[in-house]
């Protein structure tokens, strides 16, 4: 196992309850360096954060037709109001009704924005991942934080925005690897593997995600560990 730059926590646990329900829509995970300037030209995600919060609030009120208003064409076709009702009912069946939204955090990535919505349900905290395309339309919805946090974290490092990666780090990772150390660790990776070319796939494992990343000279898989609130607790290469 190779860990870069700092003593990072490497959590390799099994799946957990927050990823047990069905993911209704596959979020776009493949990135490309050509998309970086447009995706990161406006790092603010306030609009997307507000829209993601509004989506969850409408779902909690069971206002499914209104919840689909900001879906893109693929989401509208694949997850119409009736199907969305079934999905949300499954989640409520596992978690209980929504009590409150505790936090909303959004960031750009190469194909738009990702937003982590930290929700307290009757039976505990679960974080949803909401993806947006470059038009601001919702094109992905997951019942787990790992899929969004991993995409946002790796793309932020890859496109040389370590401050955005640091914003996703939990307190312990931030203390061990603040912005400048994240930048140094990533620089060491690119020195050995060549320039970052983007994410080629993400597999959600519950408490972590496996991210296939393309570099100029290599295509390793990263393990990105994520807590229940969508904070990154560590990352390392598991296969190369």
Domains, in order of start, for the chain? 17-239 (3.10.450.590)
| pLDDT recorded at residue 183 | 97
CA distance 211 to 51: 27
How large is the average pLDDT for residues 191-202? 94
Among 39-43, 99-103, 132-136, 157-161, the range of highest mean pLDDT: 99-103
| pLDDT recorded at residue 10 | 31
| pLDDT recorded at residue 39 | 64
pLDDT tens per residue across span 38-74: 667 767 789 999 999 999 999 999 999 999 999 999 9
CA dihedral 78, 83, 139, 136 (to 10 degrees): 120
CA distance 82 to 141: 16
| Range of lowest pLDDT (5-19, 20-34, 93-107, 211-225) | 5-19
Closest alpha carbon to 126 in 107, 153, 103, 109:
103
- pLDDT for 11 beyond 90: no
């Amino acid at each position: 196992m190779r860990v870069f730059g700092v003593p990072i926590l490497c959590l390799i646990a099994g799946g957990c309850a927050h990823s047990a329900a069905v993911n209704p829509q596959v979020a776009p995970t493949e990135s490309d360096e050509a998309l970086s300037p447009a995706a990161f030209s406006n790092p603010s995600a306030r609009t997307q954060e507000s829209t993601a919060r509004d989506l969850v609030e409408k779902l909690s009120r069971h206002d499914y037709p209104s919840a689909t208003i900001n879906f893109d064409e693929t989401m509208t076709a694949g997850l119409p109001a009736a199907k969305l009702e079934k999905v949300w009912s499954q989640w409520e069946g596992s978690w209980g009704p929504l009590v409150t939204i505790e936090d909303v955090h959004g960031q750009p990535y190469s194909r738009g924005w990702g937003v982590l919505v930290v929700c307290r349900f009757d039976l505990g905290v679960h974080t949803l991942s909401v993806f947006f395309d470059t038009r601001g339309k919702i094109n992905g919805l997951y019942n787990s934080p790992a899929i969004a946090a991993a995409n946002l974290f790796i793309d932020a490092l890859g496109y040389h925005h370590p401050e955005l990666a640091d914003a996703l780090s939990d307190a312990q990772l931030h203390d061990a690897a603040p912005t400048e150390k994240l930048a140094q660790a990533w620089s060491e990776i690119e020195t050995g593997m060549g320039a970052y070319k983007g994410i080629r796939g993400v597999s959600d494992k519950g408490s972590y995600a496996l991210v296939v990343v393309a570099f100029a000279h290599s295509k390793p898989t990263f393990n990105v560990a994520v807590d229940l609130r969508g904070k990154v607790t560590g990352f390392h290469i598991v296969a190369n």
